[in-house]
Chains A and B, each alone.
Chain A
């Protein structure tokens, strides 16, 4: 990992503080008549220390964008980067290591390994790298997500909200450059979801974490510092400091 960036810095990336981004990114599934353009020449960057939401209807390409940004999927053309590293320049082993050290994940469901305790799940990425992690930081994270006393429990003994909190704690524990969240509150009731979102926002404000979250819920997106709208594989809108109403407005506008 840490392959040096080809100089000069990625073109079209205007912010020098970009934690991650895509340049002319295209992703095409299938061949011939069956071709589907999931991403169509997308160029976007995500600033460090910001909470960004990616929104769009199903099939808009928002999840594909997230997967490509996170190094879980590969592009047909163009590039994605995390920090100073182009993902296409990494082999599978380097990519895995990048995910382990520089990226945190929060999925909609099934975030935890059922055989491991909450604590083991939180420390999993570090343990995989043979590290113990920063104990003081982990303690801070654990108490921030209110998991004290639940650390020895297995996922099956935790509620859905608690499980998601463990997932958030895991994503934060290794102090990654960026956290990608894919509908992190999609399986939760609104109250529990709000708790998680509030905590994610605090992580950005108080700890300076960078988070990119895919969601289709305007309420969830309103916790973000910025909302990027995706439609038909393209960026169709960009809204700084959004409120839920503004987002709904924007979506109506986009739909019409």
Chain B
């Protein structure tokens, strides 16, 4: 038998089993599509956003801004706008454009707030087409003077504003109005990625936005032929302390890396789910190959008997798999482009406002597609092909398929893999050696090994557990139920591997559910014990609230105590930490931080409250001093005024006064908490708070109960999102059960013929196949729930206590998953049961 004959046999075999070939190809294609889609989307978005940001800063030759001591999360301090005049006098400078971006909310003609399409509500400074920032005038002209403004064209079109209309807007400094003299957009687009923008000339912006004579940065365009290095040096000479000048290239690189950061988080998330899908596909493909090769044993043995070598048999099977994997990979690449478009479409439907991206196919996308498509297929066929090549020719005369024996060796390997997986997972999550990426990878590989191991070991419990699941079914449905139960139990290895795909999907959902429940329980515990506030005010856009909101609330006699919470980054002994800033007197009333020593009230300037963890790490107690370097480069010394045990508000707390003394950054409150004064009813309090925040549309006031509800909703939303992303893998898992079952039905053709001959009717036969599927899927779901709960507990224990400190389970989720498993089984049985009941009795009996 030459290579040609191998190819011929492979080709014939694919053609003869076209149904299952399509099923395998579909499974591989789905896995490849998701992987390719994730890569294409991430690459395309990176290119599009990168291009956009590059264009936004492409005309900027130099930028002057405040310096940072280290890279932190807080915004840079603004700089004095007056520097602009000095910069204009430097030789070689052609354009000086101060830039200022603040909160500004456009109102419609009735004075109602105009909602954005997903982005924040922003106010810009704008000097017209001479500007360097990539803002383009769409209609009319640039605003000049305090009575004129422009808005972004997308918002103007949406609200129905036209040039000449009077437009009102709301800023931190109050409500203003001006005549609309034009519309703007970001480079080619009509809008700013879903934000609404109102733009003013620079002096007007400084005044109306209330920036206190400051701007965020000053961009500089050079005159033709000017020496950039010389100009940069000249600017450095006149800059005040803690101010820097950087080139346009640096600025572009920074914005590109910001974009990359965001997109890799997004892309990594998608990729994780893509690989889960590919992993589950591998399970199913492996199972299908195992079964089909088992069914072809006689045929393969016959080939061996007529003179084919074991190697040729193996080569035939591998080349079958190769062709299949190749076709699926190519289809998957096209599918992936579709998937990326679909995800983009879904996000835009949800109001993300992503620009229309071009489709970027990088070489590594093709490599990933081939690794997943061909790799998964070839790996899946490796063991079955080896098994097939060792078939003795006499197997051609072997009788029917009987009960399959469990191989001890396989179980031992499975148990070892499981144990190694658990150890890796625990080391990865709890010891966390090395950088985040390496321990996350360790934990990930551990989880993978755990899944593989459990899938293998679960075959030992498959027979007893499925018998137990099948018991009520056998009682209820008599013979069809008995047959369903016994057919599942007769091939425990097949049962466990066909249930494994569902097991993994269910395990991930259950793990997420346990984690979410624990998160919720922890959160409820905090609200019950640590926070005694009645009102929580937040900004849904995460832009931060104007300090005026907190001031307005603090002035209410109905409230006993009000504190905003702000943040700033600082380095302590070389490590970057997040500091929270609060009003200590109010904080003491509103929060119970489990104070161990010292005092909260009267927390003075340059004093700090620290959590027991850093107190222990640094060996500091009340009265000790700590050297800190604030993000903007100012150095300071803080004295420890108290040590507390509840990390809800972070590990480091300073007073608002301390924050303001070290930072000029525009004050934005993350959130505000307040408590009713004694004797004030909830109704009276609600009314007063609503009135006090009426002028601040960005402020979202929630009562303690509402806040709790909204946080729970967010957790549920997260759980839902994870479940939806796992949906594809669950669909594939159901498909896997359907294929396995159909192959099983095919295998039992004679048995089915006999049953029909001795009087089983079609309905009973369908019922039997249906319950067989339900038992398999229920088994998969059960193992998945057990494994997932274990993983969820591990994950909940691994995250720091300030996020999850309680363990909780949701029985509801288990019920839902079990109901779903039964439904999945019923769906999976649709085709196989139809096929079984439509089998020609006579032909079935005559089948060899």
Contacts and interface: CB of A to CB of B under 8 A. Distances in A.
A252 interface: no
B758 interface: yes
B490 A92 contact: no
A86 interface: no
A9 to B, nearest CB: 26
B210 to A, nearest CB: 81
Nearest to B490: A115
Contacts, number: 73
Contact of A105 (B478, B479, B757): B757
B750 interface: yes
Interface range on chain B (Cβ under 8 Å from partner): 20 to 34
B761 A120 contact: no
A100 interface: yes
B483 A170 contact: no
A130 B759 contact: no
A92 B765 CA distance: 13
A114 B757 contact: no
11 contacts: A70-B757, A72-B845, A96-B761, A99-B757, A105-B757, A107-B754, A114-B403, A124-B479, A127-B479, A156-B403, A170-B758
B680 to A, nearest CB: 72
Contacts of B751: 110, 113-114
Interface of B: 400, 402-403, 478-479, 482-483, 486-487, 489-490, 750-751, 754-762, 764, 841-842, 845
Contacts of A192: none
Contact of A110 (B400, B482, B483, B490): B400
A129 B762 CA distance: 13
A97 interface: yes
Contacts of B845: 72, 107
A204 to B, nearest CB: 20
A128 B758 contact: yes
A171 to B, nearest CB: 9
A128 B760 contact: yes
A130 B476 CA distance: 11
B214 to A, nearest CB: 82
Contacts of B479: 124, 127-128
A92 B760 contact: no
Contact of A127 (B400, B478, B754, B762): B478
A72 B839 CA distance: 12
A188 to B, nearest CB: 15
Contacts of B759: 96-97, 99-101, 125, 128-129
A70 B101 CA distance: 89
B758 A124 contact: yes
A116 interface: yes
Contacts of B760: 96, 100, 128
A113 B403 contact: no
Contacts of B487: 115
A67 B756 CA distance: 13
Contacts of A101: 759
Interface string A128-165: 11100000000000000000000000001000000000
Contact of B761 (A97, A107, A156, A170): A97
B756 A96 contact: yes
Given A127-B479, A130-B478, A113 B755 contact: yes
Going nearest first, the 3 A-B pairs with the smallest beta carbon separation are A100-B759, A115-B486, A96-B761
A72 B482 contact: no
Most buried by A among B489, B757, B762: B757
Contacts of A92: 761-762
A253 interface: no
A73 interface: yes
B754 A114 contact: no
Nearest to B841: A72
Contact of A111 (B486, B490, B754): B754
Given A92-B762, A113-B483, A120-B482, 6 more contacts: A72-B845, A99-B757, A101-B759, A113-B754, A116-B483, A128-B758
B315 to A, nearest CB: 34
A71 to B, nearest CB: 9
Nearest to A105: B757
Contacts of A107: 754, 757, 845
A132 B757 CA distance: 19
A74 to B, nearest CB: 9
Interface in A75-91: none
Contacts of A99: 757-759
A114 B756 CA distance: 15
Contact of A116 (B403, B486, B489): B486
Contacts of A70: 757
A128 B750 contact: no
Nearest to A182: B845
Contacts of B478: 127-128, 130
A177 to B, nearest CB: 13
Most buried by A among B400, B478, B750, B842: B842
B400 to A, nearest CB: 7
Contacts of A129: 759
Given A115-B487, A130-B478, A125 B754 contact: no
B750 A105 contact: no
B529 to A, nearest CB: 58
B402 A96 contact: no
Contacts of B402: 114, 156
Given A100-B759, A116-B486, A156-B403, A128 B764 contact: yes
A114 to B, nearest CB: 7
Contacts of A114: 400, 402-403, 490, 751
Contacts of B489: 115
A73 B841 CA distance: 8
A156 B399 CA distance: 11
